[in-house]
Amino acid sequence: MEPDAIRPVRSLFVSPHFDDVALSCGGTVAREARDGRALVVTVFAGEPADTLTSFAEFQHRRWGALDDAVATRRREDRAAMEALGADYHWLDFPDAIYRGDLYRSDEDLFGSVKAPDEPLQQTIAAALQSLVERARPRSVYLPLGVGRHVDHQICFSLSSKIASTE
């Protein structure tokens, strides 16, 4: 869904990555979509900006996505949202593995958020607040994945900044 196409919804779900909401609370999304309109916003849905780091290449091999991993994940997400009956919107922020050399190992990826990501957090907060203002949901869901992934930590840190308009 294009940014200008955001319409009022019953529920808005913030998904750090493409599969986080579908896997963690797909039943809730389907119920909310059935009873009104549900919008799933995937935060880290952007394309890599530069050449992949060796860690990003390693992650792609680990996922079995040797070609365009983001395009593959978008196709999967589109199919999942269709199955759940939800609208979806992808923000253009890159996954941690695509943000240069900040996160170069699993230890980094599941450790503390790096200080250079602070401005990114503020930009994401503003983008999500704008979506909430336009979609006017009765409920905002921010499900968290297990494992302390830095992108999940970033989204969790924004939960107090995202205010429902009801």
CA 115 – CA 67 distance, rounded (Å): 31
Q: How many CB atoms lie within 10 A of CB 72?
A: 16
The 10s digit of each residue's pLDDT in 25-69 is 999 999 999 988 999 999 999 999 878 899 999 998 888 866 788
Q: How far apart are CA 125 and CA 89, in angstroms?
A: 15
Q: Write phi, then psi, for 41 (nearest 5 degrees).
A: -105, 115
The chain-wide mean pLDDT, for the chain, equals: 88
Can you give the pTM of this predicted structure?
0.90
Residue pair 110/153 in contact (Cβ under 8 Å)? The answer is no
- The model's confidence at residue 146, banded by pLDDT at 50, 70 and 90, is low
Residue 127's CB is within 10 A of a number of other CB atoms, namely: 17
